[in-house]
């Protein structure tokens, strides 16, 4: 799939040794590609190196089931209206068990009707954190009781990491080929 961006393309001849080393690490890791924010971050190899390691942890190694991680990522993509983040993670979320109804509600900016308590909890944490920049004592207690303290710490890490991803993709206008955009491009 062709990736578009407002950044200067980096071919092997334009890359520094540090950029090549990070690229090798990214390509040999669980992602296996230079998709999404890595197209931007590779311009700063030290940022790319740290971000790709944090991202690998957030995506593949937290205590959260993949379904909840992907729900948190889609909640983030929806809040930031991040085109490429949504395009990358919507099929992964679907495959991980996030229902089509929830996915469409998130994409259209509506509050989903959750049947699973853990999904509702992850969504409520994400929305309250993004909307108020805090999480209330009651919601915090509910989250720790349901998920455990370590998983709540990791959930906040997932939300923060994917907010960084969304901002990166939005600023550098990273797009995945000619696929239809999930969100309107008008400012709101």
What tens digit of pLDDT does each residue of 132-176 get?
A: 999 999 999 999 999 999 999 999 999 999 999 999 999 998 887
E strand map for 7-132 = none
Number of CB atoms found within 10 A of residue 74's CB: 28
Nearest to 187 by CA among 60, 103, 80: 80
Give the residues across from 176 on adjacent strands.
Answer: 3
Record the pTM.
Answer: 0.91
- What pLDDT, on the 0 to 100 scale, is given for residue 30? 65
- What pLDDT, on the 0 to 100 scale, is given for residue 46? 94
Q: Are 151 and 72 in contact (CB under 8 A)?
A: no
Separation of alpha carbons 45 and 51, rounded Å? 10
Mapping DSSP to helix (H, G, I), strand (E, B) and coil, where does residue 61 land?
coil
What tens digit of pLDDT does each residue of 81-130 get?
A: 999 999 999 999 999 999 999 999 999 999 999 999 999 999 999 999 99
What tens digit of pLDDT does each residue of 37-78 get?
A: 888 898 899 999 899 889 989 999 999 999 999 999 999 999
- Angle of CA points 29, 32, 37, to nearest 5°: 95
């Amino acid at each position: 799939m062709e990736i578009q961006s407002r950044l200067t393309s980096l071919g092997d001849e334009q890359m520094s040794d540090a950029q090549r080393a990070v690229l090798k690490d990214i390509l040999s890791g669980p992602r296996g590609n230079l998709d999404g924010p890595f197209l931007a971050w590779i311009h700063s190899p030290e940022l790319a190196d740290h971000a790709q390691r944090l991202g690998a942890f957030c995506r593949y190694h937290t205590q959260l089931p993949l379904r909840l991680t992907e729900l948190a990522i889609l909640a983030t993509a929806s809040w930031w209206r991040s085109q490429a983040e949504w395009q990358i993670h919507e099929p992964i979320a679907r495959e991980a068990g996030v229902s089509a109804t929830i996915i469409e509600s998130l994409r259209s900016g509506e509050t989903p009707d959750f049947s699973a308590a853990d999904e509702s909890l992850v969504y409520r944490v994400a929305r309250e954190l993004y909307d108020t920049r805090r999480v209330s004592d009651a919601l915090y207690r509910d989250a720790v009781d349901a998920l455990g303290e370590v998983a709540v710490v990791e959930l906040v890490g997932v939300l923060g990491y994917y907010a960084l991803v969304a901002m990166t993709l939005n600023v550098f206008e990273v797009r995945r080929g000619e696929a239809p955009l999930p969100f309107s491009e008008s400012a709101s």
